[in-house]
Amino acid sequence: MAAPAGRGRGRGRGWYPKCVSTEGILGFNQVPSRPGGIPTQPTPVKDASNAPPNKMSQQKDQKPLSPTQKKPDQKLFSSNRNQPTITNGQSKPSTPLSNSPNSADISKLLEKVESMKKSEILSQLPSKIAELCKNNNGASIMNDFTKIICGKAIKDPEFATVAAQLCNACWIREQLNPLLRSPLLSAIQAEYKKRKELNREQFYGLTVLLCELYNVLKVQHQPLKPLNNPVCDLLKDLVKEDHVSEDDAFYFFQEMERVGRVIESDNRSNMDDIMTRVREICISDDRMLPSSKCRFVQLVELRAANWQLSQDTTAFYDDLSQDLMAKGQ
Nearest of 292, 194, 285, 299 to residue 240 by alpha carbon: 285
Three-class secondary structure assignment of 19-47: CCCCCCCCCCCCCCCCCCCCCCCCCCCCC
Residue 315's SS3 state is helix
100-219 against 226-328: fold identical: yes
4-25 pLDDT tens trace: 444 555 444 344 343 333 333 3
Write down the pLDDT at residue 9. Answer: 54
- Would you place residue 136 in the very low, low, confident or very high pLDDT band (cuts 50, 70, 90)? confident
At residue 303's C-alpha, the angle toward residues 302 and 306, to 5°, is 95
- Would you place residue 135 in the very low, low, confident or very high pLDDT band (cuts 50, 70, 90)? confident
Q: Please state the rounded mean pLDDT for residues 258-270.
A: 97
pLDDT mean across residues, the chain? 78
Three-class secondary structure assignment of 262-277: HHHHHCHHHHHHHHHH
Say yes or no to pLDDT of 88 above 90: no
**Distances 232 to 212, 227, 259, 270 between C-alpha atoms, Å:** 13, 9, 10, 7
Judge: domain 100-219, CATH 2.60.40.10. Answer: no
Pick the CATH number of 226-328 from 1.10.287.610, 1.25.40.180, 1.10.630.10, 1.10.150.110: 1.25.40.180
- Would you place residue 38 in the very low, low, confident or very high pLDDT band (cuts 50, 70, 90)? very low
Domain ranges of the chain: 100-219, 226-328
CA–CA dist 19, 258 (Å, integer) = 6
